[in-house]
Amino acid sequence: MIRWGRERKRNILSLLNTLAFIPITVYIASYIPCFFILGHGFSDFLNSQYQMLHFSAYLPDSHPYMSEPWTWPLMVRPLLSLYETLQVNEVTYVATISHLGNPLVWHIGIVLIVISVWNTLTRRKGENIFVCAWFLLTWLVYFPTGIAHALFGWGRAQYIFYFLQSVPALCLTLAHVLEEGDETMKFPISALALAAAILTFGLCYPVISGYLVPFDYVHGVRLLRLGV
């Protein structure tokens, strides 16, 4: 797509091949090992697509763990799939499975991706176009529904795990900035960032794994805005 735009070739067939034919072919081919090879026909495939679209379009418009897309990078409302308590000798223990990302990566990554998008638009840095487009196209697509729901109560429930398809772009942007930082500072900043990310993961691990911990620990994680 970038080459097509730079060369200004108005070859519509080439563009459609990139945007439609190849992706559709790959998508259909992905059903071969787990669908077609089991005896299902193409009509079954089409019916499966309809059922998925119907299910997605008619999700309930409210849910205790629903959240708006602009809150996902900040993990304002993680989704809980487990919350159990256990009382032992007057001490309350809690087991939770909270669906959230690494706060260090997500919080810093969203700042860097915004800077990267700005630099791409103003300085026209071609090497960042793909990552920026990846992030924006997989995140902003949920904003119309989120805005309609927030302002008028329309639309449907959306959840933080929808943001997962945008997370690799955050990681690539963070890695690119850390690489530049290592070269500029002549110091392994990336190693320190990796250590900090591992430490943050360790702090969050009890609340994403269902591991029993005292309630005060879970409360502390909540106060630090790390989830739950």
Same domain? For 19 and 120 the reply is no
- Tell me which residue range forms the domain holding 185: 62-223
End of a domain among 58, 80, 97? 58
Question: Is the confidence at residue 200, as pLDDT, over 80?
Answer: yes
Same domain? For 186 and 215 the reply is yes
Same domain? For 41 and 122 the reply is no
pLDDT, position 228: 54
Question: Is the confidence at residue 9, as pLDDT, over 60?
Answer: no
Same domain? For 98 and 211 the reply is yes
Long-range contacts of 130-138 (CB under 8 A, 24+ apart): 130/2, 131/169, 131/172, 131/173, 131/176, 132/169, 134/166, 134/168, 134/169, 135/166, 135/169, 135/170, 135/173, 138/165, 138/166, 138/169
- Show the tokens assigned to 219: 């409360």
Mean pLDDT of 183-188: 86
Q: Could you give the strand order of the β-sheet that contains 79-88, starting from the edge strand earlier in sequence?
A: 79-88, 91-99, 213-214
Q: Is 101 inside any structural domain?
A: yes
pLDDT band at 223 (very low <50, low <70, confident <90, very high): low
End of a domain among 12, 31, 58? 58
CA distances from 204 to 30, 81, 155, 165, 220 (A): 35, 15, 32, 21, 11
Same domain? For 18 and 115 the reply is no
pLDDT, position 70: 93
Same domain? For 35 and 23 the reply is yes
Same domain? For 118 and 176 the reply is yes
Segment 44-95, tens digit of pLDDT:
999 999 998 887 767 766 778 888 999 999 888 888 888 898 888 888 899 9
Same domain? For 143 and 181 the reply is yes
pLDDT, position 150: 80
d(CA 218, CA 224): 10
Mean pLDDT of the residues in the chain = 85
Same domain? For 191 and 112 the reply is yes
Segment 213-222, tens digit of pLDDT:
898 888 777 7
Least confident among 13-27, 159-173, 185-199: 13-27
d(CA 5, CA 1): 6
Q: Is 228 inside any structural domain?
A: no
DSSP run (H or E) holding 204? helix 189-209
Question: Is the confidence at residue 225, as pLDDT, over 60?
Answer: no
Q: Is 175 inside any structural domain?
A: yes
- The answer to whether the CB of 173 falls within 8 A of the CB of 131 is yes
Question: Is the confidence at residue 126, as pLDDT, over 60?
Answer: no
Same domain? For 152 and 67 the reply is yes
Same domain? For 43 and 99 the reply is no
d(CA 33, CA 19): 24
pLDDT, position 69: 93
Same domain? For 120 and 210 the reply is yes
Task: Indicate the number of domains in the chain.
Answer: 2
Helix, strand, coil content of the chain in percent (nearest 5): 65, 10, 25
DSSP run (H or E) holding 139? helix 129-139
Question: Is the confidence at residue 184, as pLDDT, over 60?
Answer: yes
Question: Is the confidence at residue 118, as pLDDT, over 90?
Answer: no
